[in-house]
A and B are shown apart, each in its own frame.
Chain A
Amino acid sequence: MKPAYQRYALTRTAQAAVVVLLAYVLTFLVTSVLPGDAVTNALRDPQNGLSEQEIQRIVAFYGLDKPVLVQLGLSLGRFLTGELGFSLQSDLPVSRLIGDALPSTLTLAGSALVIAVVFAVAIAYGAHHLPGKWSGAVRSIPSFFLSVPNFVIGLVLIELFAFRLHSFTTTDPNSPAATLFAAVTLAIPVSAPLAEVLIAGLDHESRQDYAQVARSRGITEAGLFVKHLVKPSALPSVAMVALIVGELLGGSVITETIFGRDGIGTVVQKAVTGEDQPVLQAVVSLSAVVFVAVNLIADLVSPLVDPRVKLRETVDA
């Protein structure tokens, strides 16, 4: 078992590293195929009145006139030594742009995750324990949450709580109150699939023999929920964590834009519109690292904690 686990852990880690590297190279290639580049696009603004030769001389300074493969080599060499380079748009170090934006995104995504879990558990509990008519209504909440666009939720919350009730000001988006409303905006669509998986789990578990036995011993429905049903019903939703992380990163672009927060989402959005290759490569690789790490941890931990997961020993010939 032990050498098998070591080999398993090594292979999975190596695979993870390859995925991150591929994400970096792929982002480079995709942005290289697009017409133009960050520097040329900015300088070509007709307001500038620069001639084509003048633009080309600046482009050459940034090395963007070199063949794509040479540029890729330089960029890859930089990345492998841990250097992320400079933004082609703002000339600021990419590490600084990401470092500035990351705390805001982590706060938002973290609070949103907590709120989403609370929402999901509350919805699942309600769906399961309220009387028929109400249960039906609660069961339709997740699909409602999924069908309202994120920006509508955000704008309505802002209009209502910032402009009418003055609970927060839009000019200070990092205040606790503003962060809370942004997190709720982001949590609502995230909580929906979580709630649905929980409800399905609860439906399944409550029909199991052990639940019937517990009921026959006179346990209350709430007691049954807390003591016996939550844990097994929640197992499938744990597997969704990676998906949820993706959704939190993806959904944060819109939420950050609307609430005026400067986070990773806005950094990505700016980098995409401006074709800021070094920033895009760094953010995509960072996301790949997060994604891969979450999955890797899950994969590495599951054989250790869940006795049902068995590693197959390869038999040496």
Chain B
Amino acid sequence: MSSALWPRRAFLATVSAATASVLLTACGGATATGPSGDGTPVDGGNLTFLIQGYDTGWVSSKTSISSYEGNLWGQITDKLVYVDEKGKLSPWIAESWEELNGAKEFVLHLKKGVTFSDGSPLDAAAVVANLNAWAKGDPSRGVSKVGLFPSTNFLKAEAKDAGTVRVTFSSPALGFIATLGYHGCILLSPKTLALPVEQQADLKQEIGSGPFVVKSWKQGDSYVLEKRKDYNWGPAALGHTGPARLDTITYKVIKDTSVRTSTVASGQAEVAFNVEPQEIDSLKAQGFTVGTPRYLGFTDGFQVNTGTFPTNELSVRQAIQHGIDREEILKTVYTGDWTAATTFLQGNVPEAGDYSGLFKFDPEAAKKLLEDDGWKTGADGYRVKDGKTLELTLSPNPYVPSTKAEDELISQQLKNIGIKVNLKVVDVAGYAAVQASHPPLYQTSRSFVDVGTVAGVLTSQNNGEDWFRLGTSDKKLNELSTAVATASDRDTRKKVAGEIQQHVLEQGYFIPLNQLVQRLYLISPKVQGVQYNGLAYANFYTAWIAK
């Protein structure tokens, strides 16, 4: 809404301060006060969480992975497995698990005594119903599967007894357990899953087993959650047992970013979602906490189409890699909480390595690559070969608004090495058309919880997404992808994943930009104990408000 370069909130504060000083004799703005007490958690308290919108509704298969709705889902539901900020897995509703038969078979042992908020048991039968919904969905009822669930080799899930579930796959599924910690895999009552989508759209009908339950809601306005007093099955990794400490959490929709920020800054609410990156430093200086968790997944960057002009030439792809100054992007568009990419995986993915040397900023090297390949500088400063100007069209990723400012900078940076970039800004609907047209560079970002996801996107093997339009033409990439997909032990897989990163970056198939922070939390100093999971969602189960 407001331009990154125009600090609207500061401007308004000045305007209204001037107005106020005319009208009033003295009026101090609210300043943050630090937490009082000795840091011992206290029970009780109500937390108001300001968010810009809940537009997509409450059909879990459609919205549980959304940055907005996902926040609320995380408070009212549990998962089988917990994944922390470093990608480490630990037990939750699944107390323990066994990986058998070369990762083709898994046995989950469930925690006993867990119930949904309607009183029905969260037992093996309920888990089987959820697993089937995640793996297959039900397109005839408008219910989609969970995108990252290993569906293609999923055979079946069966309840062996009330507390044991056996899941079998036709080929190794090393990523299965990790996927259970993914934000799409939330456990819902089988009754909820069986409802038609129009009824699932009613948040009150969404029965989970989480530390909070829905008390009341008005679509597009406010959503009140209250704690479940008998909750006693949170993840051990969070270091807390029993019910949540907060009495209620109210999610309140305020669309305007500056109003959300000022409301928390003035003490009228406790948490605001997504503040302007440029405001982080001054808010921190006032004593506020700004949570900038990173998700596990692919970094912000460009998928390169190797089948179209001009990125069908290796020299051009490599020149773009070296022509982009990531430090300048971080300094101009972001703050110290963002870091440059070291590969095309976010740094907290356990398999991510440091390959930044392969795409470090070096404009001279970039120019030499182009020069040696016959791209000569033309009259207007852009390079020409065989009468064709070196140019391409670039569209920022509308799902990540800050990429517009990023791409404006990139077009200037690439101009310096003689590449002409035509920026074409589109909205979400237009971006689908951009993707379908397979442009030279397609900006992407995606979260995942298991590196096995990588194998499914790089080539066209096994219905893969074929990000680089290589089909199956790059034999080395085919072999490496297959090796990651079929690996049955993690050490081997990590080694191959490293080779994949090296190969993809050497060939200039992917141009990494920076490690993305997509969810920002502005938190009042009174609020303590907020934790973040590996998908960068804030968890308020352990949070408390200092008196």
Contact = CB atoms under 8 A, between A and B. Distances in A.
Contacts, number: 188
Contact of A156 (B12, B252, B430): B12
Contact of A101 (B16, B142, B220): B220
A89 B55 contact: yes
Contacts of A275: 429
B30 A87 contact: no
Interface in B421-449: 427-433, 435, 444-448
A58 interface: yes
A62 interface: yes
Contact of A36 (B8, B53, B57, B433): B433
Nearest to A274: B55
A47 B67 CA distance: 9
Interface string B513-531: 0000000000000000000
Given A90-B56, A160-B19, A171-B50, A51 B220 contact: no
Point out which of A42, A158, A159 has the most chain B C-beta atoms below 10 A from its C-beta.
A159
Interface in B445-472: 445-448, 453, 463, 465
A267 interface: yes
A55 B265 CA distance: 41
A260 B140 CA distance: 37
A80 interface: no
Interface in A16-74: 34-36, 40-51, 54-55, 57-58, 60-62
Contacts of B20: 160, 164-165
B220 A100 contact: yes
Contacts of B278: none
A55 B144 CA distance: 8
Interface in A94-152: 96-97, 100-101, 152
A81 interface: no
A8 interface: no
Nearest to A57: B139
Contacts of B453: 49
A257 to B, nearest CB: 5
A162 B268 contact: yes
A211 interface: no
Nearest to B464: A51
B145 interface: yes
B219 A100 contact: yes
A273 B13 CA distance: 30
Contacts of A170: 254, 259, 262-263, 268-269
A270 interface: yes
Interface stretch (B58-66, B230-238, B357-365): B58-66
A204 B15 CA distance: 39
A220 B378 CA distance: 81
A43 B58 contact: no
Contact of B56 (A42, A55, A61, A258): A42
A308 to B, nearest CB: 47
Contacts of B98: none
A43 B256 contact: no
A262 B220 contact: yes
A42 B56 CA distance: 8
A281 interface: no
A91 interface: yes
A171 B446 CA distance: 33
B139 A159 contact: no
A171 B432 contact: no
Looking at B62, B66, B197, the one whose CB has the most chain A CB atoms below 10 A away is B62
Contact of B16 (A96, A160, A259): A160
A260 B444 contact: no
Contacts of A5: none
A160 B27 CA distance: 10
Interface string B336-359: 000000000000000000000000
Given A60-B139, A156-B16, A170-B268, A262 B256 contact: no
A101 B219 CA distance: 9
A199 B13 CA distance: 35
Nearest to A163: B266
A46 B220 contact: no
Given A155-B259, A171-B254, A273-B55, 10 more contacts: A47-B399, A48-B65, A55-B144, A57-B144, A58-B137, A58-B143, A96-B219, A156-B15, A170-B269, A171-B50
6 contacts: A42-B62, A44-B435, A48-B147, A54-B147, A164-B29, A171-B269
